[in-house]
Structure 1
Amino acid sequence: MAQKLQAPRGTYDVLPDDAARRDEVERTARRVLGAAGYRRIETPTFEATELFARGVGASTDIVQKEMYTFKDGGDRSVTLRPEGTAPVARAYLEHGMQKLPQPVKLWYLSSFFRYERAQAGRFRQFWQVGAEAIGSADPAVDAECILLLAELLDALGVQGVRLRLGSLGTPQTRAAYREELQAYLRAHEDQLSDEVRGRIELNPLRAFDADHPGTREVMRGAPLLLDRLTGEDAEHFAEVRSLLAAADLEYEVDPTLVRGLDYYARTLFEFTSDALGAQSGVAGGGRYDGLIEQLGGAPTPGIGWAAGIERILLAGHEHPTPPPLVDLFVAYTDAAGRKAAFELALEARRAGLSAQLELAGRSLKGQLKQASRIGARSLAIVGEHGVGATVKDLETGDQEEIELGRVIPVVLKRGKTLA
């Protein structure tokens, strides 16, 4: 007997009951984001590896450790997309969206891939819903993005939501701060973890994310970028905060907030959920005003976010999913009536009804049980040799013998009466 195969570690199957909850996420995202002028975009599952090396940052954990990269048949290096912003930025440039009225507002719901330790709500193949607003540096765009994400999480019943807000300033501000932080880390190098020591030169800000006790103690006294904001950086952050306060959205300013991608600048935010325990992040994002330029375009501001579908479902309320509506179940009494039953089910669907047909060779008694099991509202039993049918209202018990040609009008009329 052949060994039973299973899905690869860190992946999972979306079963029908799970898909119904995911459909609700998609419907809600379309409603919330569509109302604010965001339109759907989907990018390819794999992209040129260079896109992520240039856009996400060669020193990031994503590029160094987590990407699924391989050579295609043409000996080109391609990568399964690990995140959504760089591909959307690439599409913005490739398709000339900079010529459209700005900002261009886009949203997506896609699968992504990262090789990392699988745990509750975090997988190697995972799904995210995300939004990007490209082409405006107005702080109001930042506030709108954050408020839309808050509305989406609330509409999906995510529990215990908290918003952490920070700012990374401009690249110039961050460059000066980076040197200051590097000097501080070198002065305390003997107390840091090997991993943090190894990336003092490449990515020192990630030291704020460390779990290592010694590193965490060192970072309590570290200089903070938020304290170094001046001029337009400080004004931008103050305006974002003012707009969020005007909208009555509670938040916590977190000067240690960092993200694992190099393209972020200025506004940075993360939504956490108390329902998720230690791994509490459910969604986050920020401004990336230098990304389009890094990809070969003109300097173009942008901001966006992504929310993990698995994390949303894990932290959200369990809503019972109603079974799909079945207007009509078509049964038959003998093999001679099978063709007529098949045609009746087909015509019912063309007429706009949800119709299912007996396909498992059950006895008539078994067919009646199946109609009841799936919650069909009406049952049509095609008579011997496909002549005539018995139509039964499974909600009232009423039934009548009619011609096959009248079955669909009768079921449609019952549906209108119920509506």
Structure 2
Amino acid sequence: MALWVQKFGGTSVGTVERIEAVADKIVAARQQGHDIVVVVSAMSGETNRLIGLAEQIQSKPTPRELDVLVSTGEQVTIALLSMALHKRGCDARSFTGSQVRVLTDSAHNKARIREIDADNIRSEVDQGRVVVVAGFQGVDEEGNITTLGRGGSDTSAVALAAAIKADECQIFTDVKGVYTTDPRVVDDARLLRTITFEEMLELSSLGAKVLQIRSVEFAGKYKVPLRVLSSFEDDPGTLITLEDKNLMEAPIISGIAFTRDEAKVTVTGVPDIPGVAYQLLGPVSDAGIEVDVIVQNISSDGTTDFTFTVKRNDSDQAKAIVEGTAKKINAKSVKVDDKIAKVSLVGVGMRSHAGIASQMFKTLADESINIEVITTSEIKISVVIDEKYLELAVRSLHSAFGLGDEGENV
């Protein structure tokens, strides 16, 4: 008998019929002898509806009151799912984040979990009940309702699994698992049976949207086996685990991630003096803008060109901030290119195999795709290219590294 935490997202519980189907899935797992704790999101579209109501009152809703409002979405789901389980003769009890006591900091709309009181949950499980917990929410030390931000239910599930020492945390989604790349771009994208936490972190941070990155970080930190699988199909999905000790047998490349919403900011004629990078990027960071790739050219005449990337919707603000600094330090110009994309190869096998970068660059060159910026880490290589070549680049690299071969890694 195993103790599982099962998380169902908004699409999986989007209608009463789907909630009934989730109840059937939980009952089936119980009949196999497993203890189940369930974490659910609000029904699909409900959080957006609630935010829309708030914005009809305030253009920028008061953060504390917004948390009170949007947390009701999950409360609806836990009650309905518990009712569906009762109808099937399965003893179940619903809990909000505050009832479980998911203790968070006080950063409304983007709170972080500090600790979880696992005693209530374990007591209910020991009595043979299915525990149904509202994801996405918690409570701070003063008793205020908090929410964890978009995708926070994944983090709730993993944190709960860590707290109760579950054997596995299962994230049910509308896809079968983690693929070598987006199947909507590459027809023969392959379902991965296993992937490491480290690889999944990179893929999530580089554009893969299967899992929220905070949930993967949590799972890796507390060594919670994490499985991604479909709510709508019977398939074992993808297991995310600690690194395979036998790297000789690990695939060189596990997946290709990409993102379209990038913009490149280039400052030319920057005086090549100590501290100039901070002068340019400090104010950008202070404005809450996340900077990704950073490249500084080698100086030849006492000046240098400085390039960095940001999310596309932050590019205008970033440019305005940098222009103010550029004027103060007598830089030549500030240019923005918002028609770029980033493509990344990820794989722990890179550690033991040479030549990955050269093969990547040759593949892109053969398709006449120009690389504008390159950045690397121990298990990833990312390139910035013209957005119009994105899908061609992904398909070409997927083929070049043999990721679409028949069969699935095990």
TM range (shorter): under 0.3
Which structure has more relative contact order (CA 8 Å, sep 6+)? It is 1
Q: Which has the higher helix share?
A: 1
TM-score between the two structures when normalised by the length of structure 2: 0.23
TM-score between the two structures when normalised by the length of structure 1: 0.23
Q: Which has the higher strand share?
A: 2
